[in-house]
């Protein structure tokens, strides 16, 4: 039982780190490429729902990975990498498109059918939003010869449960046919290269989503978390902005109040200074008046004294003449 579980989980991780999957996996490829040696945390794989559906035993997972012929685990069993470095390549030449597949077909059935013509790296069964099978698939072969053999042998092939017959062609031929059909529908004679490239990318994404829904689900959850975090940040920013505006209003109100108080103090000070000036003026006027009065009194006294002395002189002179 343990040996079967080890083999199943080992194959699952080998698939995740396979070249064909990494070419389509926008979540895992950047992680592999970010590390100089291509190492990935084993704990990350242990958290994938599909791996957890096989085992939740981390020790068993590490033990299984150590037995892999394509993967290498570090000494402490915390990280895993490919033995052969990952190099990006063109997958389209080795990929075929197959349609009119019966509803009950799954990855194993499709792989078994096409593996008769060459080693298969990757099988994608795109599904509708309600998870129902769309009826077509993309199959990537390890070698171009396998893709050629599959097209020659299986195109117009009639499985026992499909009287319509399969339609199998190279993916590049299918992409060209699709573009021509869309051009005819839209009534245009040429199509921007950027838009054509975008359509091809959509096909890659479609395949990646089917082959590895658990990781894509994790991506969606991450995007959801990012959106939630972004919403929280925006709310926090709005709150800071609102608080800032409120604080600014308070500061302006406080500044206005302080300005009014300063004006009152200034007016009061000016009034006080004016009162002091008035008092000083009155005091000086009074002093001047009193000084003038004293001077007049002195003049009167002096004048009176002068008259008395004159009268005395006259009396003495009159007396002497007699």
Tell me the domains of the chain and their CATH numbers.
1-82 (1.10.10.10), 92-188 (3.30.70.330)
* Residue 284 reports pLDDT greater than 90: no
Question: Could you give the CA distance from residue 210 to residue 106 in angstroms, rounded to a whole number?
Answer: 11
* Residue 71 reports pLDDT greater than 90: yes
> What pLDDT was estimated at residue 209?
38
> What pLDDT was estimated at residue 177?
87
Q: How confident is the model at residue 188 (pLDDT cuts 50, 70, 90)?
A: low
Strands (E), the chain: 40-41, 71-73, 79-82, 95-99, 120-124, 136-141, 167-170
- Which DSSP symbol is given to 76? T
pTM: 0.50
* Residue 214 reports pLDDT greater than 70: no
Nearest to 107 by CA among 11, 2, 203, 221: 11
> What pLDDT was estimated at residue 227?
66
Total residues found in the chain within this entry: 322
> What pLDDT was estimated at residue 49?
93
> What pLDDT was estimated at residue 210?
37
Question: Could you give the CA distance from residue 280 to residue 293 in angstroms, rounded to a whole number?
Answer: 20
Averaged pLDDT of the chain: 81
């Amino acid at each position: 039982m343990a040996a079967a579980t080890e083999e199943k989980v080992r194959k699952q991780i080998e698939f995740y780190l396979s070249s064909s999957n990494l070419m389509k996996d926008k979540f895992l490829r950047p992680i592999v490429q970010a590390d100089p040696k291509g190492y990935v945390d084993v704990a990350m794989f242990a958290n994938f729902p599909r791996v957890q559906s096989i085992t939740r035993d981390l020790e068993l997972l590490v033990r299984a990975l150590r037995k892999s012929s394509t993967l290498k685990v570090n000494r402490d069993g915390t990280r895993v990498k490919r033995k052969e470095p990952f190099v990006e390549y063109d997958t389209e030449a080795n990929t075929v498109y197959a349609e009119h597949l019966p509803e009950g077909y799954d990855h194993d059935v499709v792989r078994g059918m096409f593996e008769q013509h060459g080693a298969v790296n990757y099988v994608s069964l795109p599904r509708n939003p309600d998870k129902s099978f769309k009826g077509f698939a993309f199959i990537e072969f390890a070698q171009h010869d396998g893709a050629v053999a599959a097209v020659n042998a299986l195109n117009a092939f009639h499985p026992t449960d499909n009287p319509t017959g399969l339609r199998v062609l190279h993916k590049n031929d299918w992409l060209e046919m699709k573009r021509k059909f869309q051009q005819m529908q839209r009534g245009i004679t040429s199509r921007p290269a950027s838009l054509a490239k975008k359509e091809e990318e959509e096909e890659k994404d479609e395949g990646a989503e089917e082959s590895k829904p658990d990781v894509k689900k994790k991506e969606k959850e991450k995007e959801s978390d990012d959106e939630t975090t972004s919403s929280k940040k925006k709310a926090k920013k709005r709150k800071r902005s609102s608080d800032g505006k409120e604080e600014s209003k308070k500061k302006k109100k406080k500044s206005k109040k302080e300005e009014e108080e300063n004006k009152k103090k200034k007016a009061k000070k000016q009034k006080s200074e004016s009162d002091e000036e008035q008092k000083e003026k009155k005091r000086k006027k009074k002093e001047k008046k009193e000084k003038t009065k004293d001077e007049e009194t002195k003049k009167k006294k002096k004048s009176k004294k002068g008259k008395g002395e004159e009268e005395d002189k006259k009396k003495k002179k009159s007396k002497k003449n007699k």
